[in-house]
Amino acid sequence: MALRFLSVVGARPQFVKAAVITRALAKAGLKEVMVHTGQHFDREMSDVFFEDLAIPPPQFNLGVSGGSHAEMTADMLRALEPVMVAQHPDFVLVYGDTNSTVAASLCAAKLHYPIAHIEAGLRSFERRMPEEVNRVMTDHLSTVLFCPTQTAVQNLSREGIVTDVHHVGDVMFDAALHVASMDQRSMVLGRLGLQPKGYAVATIHRAENTDEYSALEKVCTWLSARAEQQKIVMPMHPRTRNALNRTGLSLSGIDVIDPVGYVDMMQLISHAAFVYTDSGGLQKEAYFYRVPCVTLRQQTEWVETIECGWNRLWSQRDYATPRRDIEDYGKGQAGEQIVQILLDMVQATNSAADLKRFSEHRIR
């Protein structure tokens, strides 16, 4: 059976996750069509990641960026529909929790294409976060759900989602291992004049930290205070740069640099003394390299990083939990497991029509 998988991506973390699946699909001899919504459109936030991860550029770029959450999601839906209809995929693959994720899920559900959600079941239990809304909606629309942790599986079970749920480990761990094995080496430390363990890495981009003056001021104050104690390097997200320009706030004492590619970012994290971030992905990437992390949020969906002592919320005073390994993230084979499960699902059905009926059972 000639199967066709349509992957929808739009933001940096999704490029990393999708690269793992792209390699696994290629290894299995399966056809993938990748669609880039355009949510991250800067070269430093987009093109360079495909180059770093050594995967082909997307076949479609929808060029949708900017506007409110509603405007962006609506524009993505409008642009995705004709692509999906023309490609007629056997599965639509969505990643994480962005507007691109929920738009692709809504579009596929309306067209009755089966949806595979990679990184399903995460919950911060904070519905004011747009990412949390996107996660919940996508999980309840999806046909098959691939969870990075057992906690994610339990979250889905509490919401009544118990069929076609699989704990496969974390595809971002697969990606980190792949980069570590690549011949390509980053020279970013030399370019920036950094010494291993002589600096911290900071990133800020979440709406909860950038949309309101008081929240952004709190972040700037917190980071600037730490910059008095240690060197902090901050690759600046476009949203954060715009917010600082809009508010007139500044990051005193922090070495602000342009966004960097994936390989450079992993090099920066792996040699850092600390990571300060509101990014879900960087919380885990810090753990992969056994670098302590402080999450600049009031909660995190990656509770294992806190429970195992590698991460803490900025409201917590210190690291009180003994550090231990996080077994749930797997051994770097999540991508291959996902592809095998999808193949097994297809082989267990009589026809593509049976698969499409799977996509209807959660939204009746």
Catalytic residues: 205
C-alpha–C-alpha distance, residues 114 and 67, integer Å = 29
Q: Are 147 and 182 contacting, i.e. CB atoms less than 8 angstroms apart?
A: no
Residue type, 285: E
Residue in the block written with tokens 């009589």: 350
- For 188-269, strand residue ranges (E) read 200-203, 232-235, 255-257
Strand partners, 147: 167
Surface-to-core class of residue 272, CB atoms within 10 Å of its CB (0-12 exposed, 13-18 middle, 19+ buried): buried
Residue in the block written with tokens 């994290």: 269
Residue type, 167: H
Closest CA to 39 of 82, 93, 97: 97
C-alpha–C-alpha distance, residues 85 and 60, integer Å = 14
Residue in the block written with tokens 């004049």: 193
C-alpha–C-alpha distance, residues 357 and 228, integer Å = 59
3-state secondary structure of 11: coil
Q: Which residues contact 271 (CB under 8 A, 6 or more apart)?
A: 189, 194, 196, 197
C-alpha–C-alpha distance, residues 192 and 189, integer Å = 5
Q: Which residues contact 260 (CB under 8 A, 6 or more apart)?
A: 44, 188, 235, 268
3-state secondary structure of 81: helix
DSSP assignment letter at 58: P
